[in-house]
Structure 1
Amino acid sequence: MTIKLYDYQQDLIERTRNAFRDGYKAPCIVSPCGSGKSIMIAEIARMTASNKKRVLFLVHRKELIDQIKNTFDFVGVDVNYVQFAMVQTIVKKLDKTPTPELIITDESHHGLAASYQKIYDYFSDVKRLGFTATPVRLNGDGLGGINDVLLEGVSVEWLIENERLAPYDYYAPKLMQQENLKIGHLKEFTKQSIDKEIETHKAIYGDVIKHYLKLAEGEQAIAYCHSLESSIKTAQAFNDAGIKAKHIDAKTNKNERDDIIQSFRDKEIKVLCNVDLIGEGFDVPDCSTVIMLRPTKSLSLYIQQSMRGMRYKPGKRSIIIDHVANVTTFGLPDMSRQWSLNSKKKANFEMETPVKTCNECFGTYAGIDRKCPYCGYEQPIEVKETVYEEVDQDLEKVDKFEMKLNFKKPEDCKDLKELQELGKSLGYKSGWAWVQAKRLGIR
């Protein structure tokens, strides 16, 4: 069948075709969550297959294949010319894989992994096309190793303004100090350090219930937890409070998982708890509320999870309750980000707009306006020259310096210049940086 694309989707497809005509071999389309990425992929595959050219479609999770097949059928792709493949499978049988004319990689930010690169190297003469909402690796690297041009689509802000995504309210109660967390070999926070930090705040589950009832009572919510045990406990806490909740994970029996998802769709279950299962490629019914109980260093994971409740419906407003201060690391979901193909030696994304949390209603918003857009409360003029101001036991003030500096304490700084910037943000005199540099052996 023939479908009508939105103008911004058609524009991206035309720019991709022009990029190939201009000699680029591996463009990457950057388009936000909820922008109709699957439809664009399917349309490009349809045009390629209609010319009897083979397409190799690569994913890292089976669920992505199941969903994209449905979209391909809807768009009318001739799947006789399409090979759907998990990277983990095809990398083991490259010599038995027919040579394609085009390789499409979904969630292309995974493409720097060795398995992907082995496939790309094997089919080195084949054109490639990647799709992602966040073209950056967890370690900060851009995708220059696998792509030669970024083709950026419309912004999240544009999609909200033009009723393609739902607007949102963002709340950030303070239940965790991220500086206390440790980073493991995958450059993510370790489960052990998160467990220890949560144990320090024994009221975390009670606080989760309190904030849900205050901010989103009766709404369909997805809760992202840091471990399987935490997800089970969170679901139990909701049930104990009389709010129907269920936990699911990758090992949940398929029939049981389908029953739980259907109950969530029928609104019999209000809260669905998981770790990272409900993310890229996982089909779940519409919800309005996201509860973030999992601190992360991954921008991609943050964007996927925070925007899960922003699927558009007339009159809908998503509610994001960030219990772990992820907003202080990444900013708000619709903040403008400047992407680059460069490595982490140069910034891949920058957030220039400060983020504030209202002292009165806990609403989190971008800008320097003292008047809260949620409740109208006018924030008092700050008199303390600190990066963080602890408002009370539950909340954390998010200041602009927190968004622009990647270092919070002297030990995080690698040179005198960074020490000076940190000292300035903390309101210290210029001599402080020199004292710290001497103490740390920095020249």
Structure 2
Amino acid sequence: MFLFRSRVGLIRKFKSFPTLKRFHNFNANATPIFTPNLSQTPHNIELREYQLDCIESCLQALEENKRRIGAVLPTGSGKTVVFAHLLNQVKPRKGYGDKTLILAHRKELILQAAKTCRSINPDKKVGIIMSDESSATDDDDIIVASVSSLQNDQRLRALNPKDFKLIIVDEAHHAVTNSYLRVFNHFDVKDSNSDVAVLDFQPLYKEMMIKI
């Protein structure tokens, strides 16, 4: 998990997340930098240094065979942009597909994630699964789904775990509920040696700060 120091305080550690080795300073006014291998889009979306650090640390953790990784990013720091870039850098394990599932609990998060993924990954097909809307197909590379919609047995069974390399959880503090656990069980990601990696993205709120 990432811990960001700032003038206002220090985040608490969440014991439920594996701890990454690196600590990062967050500067909202940091100068954007551009790294070609992480920004392969026609729009040349520039990543800030702390966003690149987050991506690189997650990739390093995966290289070290960590399969459940937590990242905490301050509100407004562009976590959706981070994971939209990151998913392209994650390699599938042998015998598994290259798809990514993004889980969220609110419609606005789902629509934002789908829009950002389409913008940053124009060569990828992005589908949506929600209770009142489902545009996902078997050909989709990225599926953004509401966790409540996947409580439907038919919809959940349609997602073959062998087709996926990665699950991204947006606002991961909700991921301890039974509805999320049901999805995780389907993908068999409770095992520390799971073939499908899980990246938990958690926003930093003021109430999560401790004054120092």
Length-normalised TM-score, structure 2? 0.61
Aligned position for 1:74: 119
Cα offset, 1:49, TM superposition? 8.8
Q: Deviation digits for residues 201-250 of structure 1, max 9, x if unmatched?
A: xxxxxxxxxxxxxxxxxxxxxxxxxxxxxxxxxxxxxxxxxxxxxxxxxx
Offset of residue 96 of structure 1: 1.9
User: Equivalents in 1 of 2:54, 2:80: separation in Å?
Assistant: 13
Letter in 1 for 2:178: A
Say yes or no: does 1:90 pair with 2:154. Answer: no
Map of 2:174 onto structure 1? 110
Task: Tell me which of 173, 191, 199 is aligned to 1:129.
Answer: 199
Superposed, 1:135-284 pairs within 5 Å as none
Gaps of 5+ in 1: 135-299, 304-329, 338-350, 354-443
The alpha carbon displacement at 1:67 in A equals 1.2
Q: 2:53 aligns to what?
A: 11
- Cα distance change of structure 1 residues 46 and 37 upon mapping to structure 2, 3 Å threshold: same
Q: Distance in 1 between matches of 2:159 and 2:92?
A: 21
SS in 1 for 2:117: helix
Gaps of 5+ in 2: 1-40, 126-139, 189-193
Provide the C-alpha distance between the structure 2 equivalents of 1:82 and 1:49, rounded to a whole number of angstroms. 14
Q: Which of the pair has the greater relative contact order for Cα pairs under 8 Å at 6+ separation? A: 2
- 1:393-404 matched pairs, under 5 angstroms: none
> What's the % identity of the aligned pairs?
29
Relative to structure 1, the CA distance from residue 24 to residue 48 in structure 2 (aligned partners, 3 Å threshold; closer, same or farther) is closer
Residue 60 in structure 1 maps to residue 94 in structure 2: no
In the TM superposition, what are the counterparts of 1:228-377 in structure 2 within 5 Å? 300=205, 303=206, 330=207, 337=209, 351-353=210-212
Instruction: Tell me the amino acid that sits aligned with residue 20 of structure 1.
Output: L
Q: Specify the SS of the correspondent of 2:46.
A: coil
Q: Which residue of structure 2 aligns with residue 148 of structure 1?
A: none
| Structure 1 residues 127 and 73, CA gap change in structure 2 (3 angstroms) | same
2:66 to 10, 24, 28: 24
Asked if structure 2 preserves the Cα contact closer than 8 Å seen for 1:49 and 1:81, the reply is no
TM-score by length of 1: 0.30
Query: Would you say how many aligned residue pairs link Structure 1 and Structure 2?
Result: 142
State which structure, 1 or 2, has the greater radius of gyration over its C-alpha atoms.
1
Distance in 1, Cα, partners of 2:120 & 2:198 = 21
Letter in 2 for 1:95: R
Structure 1 pair 23–46 and aligned structure 2 pair: CA distance change class (3 A): closer
Is the Cα–Cα contact under 8 Å of residues 107 and 130 in structure 1 kept in the other structure?
yes
Decide which structure has greater strand share.
2
CA distance in 2, matches of 1:50, 1:3: 25
Instruction: Say whether the 8 Å CA contact 1:108–1:131 is kept in structure 2.
Output: yes
CA RMSD between the two structures: 2.4
More helix by share: 1
> Stretches of 4+ moved more than 3 A in 1?
46-52
